[in-house]
Structures are given as C-alpha cells and as structure tokens.
Amino acid sequence: MQISSFISALPKAELHLHIEGTFEPELMLYIADRNGIDLQFDSVDSLRAAYNFSNLQDFLDIYYQGMNVLLTEEDFYDLTLAYIERVGAQAVRHVEIFFDPQAHTARGIVFKTVIDGIWRALETAREKFDISSNLILCFLRHLDEADAIATLHEALPYRDRITAVGLDSSESGHPPSKFERVFALAREAGFYCVAHAGEEGPPDYVVEALDLLKVSRIDHGNRALEDHALTRRLAKEKIPMTVCPLSNHKLCVVKDLDDHPLPTMLEAGLMVTLNSDDPAFFGGYINENFQVMKDHFDLSNEVLGSIARNSFLASFMSGERRSLLLDELDAYMAGST
C-alpha cells in the first residue's frame, strides 16, 4: 500500500495494539525453530493463508496458537522490539501496548518472563527511538473472574511498569459486568481502565464498560452508534474511541471498508483515534490504517491531523510528554499547509 508523505511523517500515538498481534509469520517461524517447537505451519505462506477470518473467534483461535511459541524473556523482547522498529519508521512517537499475561501464564510461562522481555524492549524504544510507552494489562474475558483477580495480584509487584488494565478476547456472552469487581480492585491499586466494547458485542456492553468498569477509553466501540443516546453521551463526555479499520474489515465487523463507521463517528463528534489492533494478522500497521480511511473517505490532512491530535490527548502519557508531542504535531501541521 502506498502511504502518503503526509501520513508517513505525521507524528502520532498508537493506543490499541496487542503485542501478541504483532507476531509476523517470519519471526514466529524463527522463534518456533529457536525453541524447538513444531508450529504445524511450515512456511510464511501457509501461515498467511490461514489468516482468513469470519469473525473475532476465528481470529482468536489462530492468535492464541501462534503465541504458544513464545517461551523466554528474549522471545518477548524480540517480539516487542520488532514492533517498535516497524512503528519507529511510521512516525509513531508514543505507544500504549496491550499484553495478555493469562495467555502465557496458563502455559507455564511466568509473569516475570513476559513483562521483563517486553519492558526491556520498551527501554530500548525510549533510548534508541525516542518512543515513549505505557503498558496495559488485558484480562481475557472468556476466562472467569477468579483468574482475572489472580492475574491482578501477580501484576502488583510490577505496579510501576503497568499503567492501565483492559479487557479483551471473546466479547459475545462475556459482558463487562462479569469483571466489575476486578476493575474496582484495579482502580483501587491506581490503574487506569480501558475495555474492548461494541466490537461484536451490543451497545449495552459499551454502557457497562463506562458505568461499571469506569473506563477512560472504549476500544473499538463501533456498535455504540446503534444507540443514539449513547453516541451523544460519548461525544459529550469526550470518551476516546480506539478505532481499528483494517481489523474491523478482516474480522467482518464491517463487510466492506466503504461501510466503515468512521465518517459517522466523526460527524457525531466522537473523539476518534486510529490504530492497528493486531497488525501482523490484519494486513497493516497504523499508517496503513490511516491510509485506507483517507482513501475510502477522502479525508483531508486537517482531519487526519486532528485524529493524530486525539491520540496524544487520549493517551496516558505525562503532561510534559503530551505538551512536547502536541508542539511537535502543531509544527508539523503548520509546515505542511
């Protein structure tokens, strides 16, 4: 995909990114080999050929299978650094990264191995690429409350490395209300909260995420548009929405990118950001997501710039870092008109 020069150099933050979803087939095969694991797929092409999904669950089945080859701290380091190198070349200045500890601890990989590997790569990101970051621990919603609470307790010794908790995995049948108490404990421990809601689930799940989990952002949120009162509320309260167009298309949340709700969201005054979700599986990183929306809806540079601005405003970065990056964006916009 040809990325416009404006998008290529536009300073931006990525706020909806599952680190396990950045596992490119080449690296997956390399790490599988390094760890002596038989992946069942023997080539990059056979892996990519399997990336044909009818819904979220179809994708999750492959996503969890792929991450089984991650065993050591070095594996998590290599995975995270590969993502940082990719987005360092896409003018990404700050990232808020989801990780799924339960998908690893359930396989006998200890929490420390996972977070030490990711953290070391994020230190490299700061030092070598001047990319700042925050980590968001996601609870897997298909598992029960007790498992989530145990995971929160495992995370507490790493409190200084984790900024927020989130909620991901199979949405249908697993409403935010199932995790009300875990999120209350997380807030008491000082974490910000976010949740996937309204990707496949109904608008009521978005309301529950706001009212019961007290989230600062909604991840996806597409189906909120079915409820006009909710849409007005999201706009009025300026709740950021982390929208992921290529993901929505690959997971059949929208049939065609022309049907994507981004223009409706913008018209409704929602605070939209654009993100890649699981870029290795969905055919593009953040700039490809900006570009497809520009191409399909003829978005102006001014609108694209305002979406980038939202990404800095909606992030959990420090006030000092936010001012610096907003200044950088202002200078970029002034220089490109």
Q: Which residues bind Zn ion (CB under 5 A)?
A: 277
199 in active site? yes
Which residue of 12, 13, 14, 18 would you call a contact of ligand ADE, by CB under 6 A? Answer: 18
List of long-range contacts for 49-57, beta carbons under 8 Å, 24+ apart: 51/250, 51/281, 53/250, 53/251, 53/252, 54/252, 55/200, 55/251, 55/252, 56/170, 56/171, 56/172, 56/199, 56/200, 56/251, 56/253, 57/170
Start-to-end CA span in the chain (Å): 24
Minimum Å distance from CB 137 to ligand ADE?
A: 13
Q: Which two tokens stand for residue 78?
A: 């290599």
Contact pick of 246, 278, 288, 329 for ligand ADE (by CB under 6 A): 278
Residue 72 and residue 215 in contact, taking contact as beta carbons nearer than 8 Å? no
Query: Closest by alpha carbon to 217, among 42, 65, 70, 13?
Result: 13
Phi, psi angle pair for 91, to nearest 5°:
60, 30
Q: Using alpha carbons only, give the angle 104, 23, 285 rounded to the nearest 5 degrees.
A: 130
Distance CA 170, CA 59 (A): 10
Residue 242: name its binding partner from Zn ion, ligand ADE, none (Cβ under 5 to 8 Å by kind). none
262's tokens: 């981004």
Nearer to ligand ADE among residue 80 and residue 169 (C-beta): 169
Would you count residue 199 as binding ligand ADE (CB under 6 A)?
yes
| Cα 285 from chain centroid (whole Å) | 11
CB of 196 to Zn ion, least distance (A): 5
Q: Least separation, in Å, of the C-beta of 98 and Zn ion? A: 7
**Complex with ligand ADE: residue 86 or 196, whichever CB lies closer:** 196
169 lies in the binding site for ligand ADE (CB under 6 A) = yes
Pair 284, 64: CB distance under 8 Å: no
Residue 12 vs 174, nearer CB to ligand ADE:
174
Shortest CB 220 distance to ligand ADE, Å: 7
Closest separation between CB of residue 21 and ligand ADE, Å? 5
> For residues 25 and 305, which CB has a smaller minimum distance to ligand ADE in the complex?
25
Judging by DSSP bridges, how do beta strands 271-274 and 192-197 pair with one another? unpaired
Of 56 and 115, CB closest to ligand ADE = 56
176 or 305: CB nearest ligand ADE: 176
Secondary structure of residue 298 in the 3-state scheme: coil
Sole binder of ligand ADE in the list 14, 24, 168, 208 (CB under 6 A)? 168
Residue closest to ligand ADE, measured at CB: 168
Binding mask 89-128 for ligand ADE (x = CB under 6 A): ----------------------------------------
The listed partner (ligand ADE, Zn ion, none) that binds 199, CB under 5 to 8 Å by sort, is ligand ADE
140 bridge partner residues: 168
Q: Which of 56, 182, 210, 241 binds ligand ADE (CB under 6 A)?
A: 56
Residue 14 touching ligand ADE (CB under 6 A): no
Catalytic annotation, pick one of 14, 73, 199, 200: 199
Contact 45, 28 (CB under 8 A): no
Residues involved in catalysis:
199
Q: For binding to ligand ADE (CB under 6 A), which residues are involved? A: 18, 21, 56, 63, 168-169, 196, 199, 247, 277-278
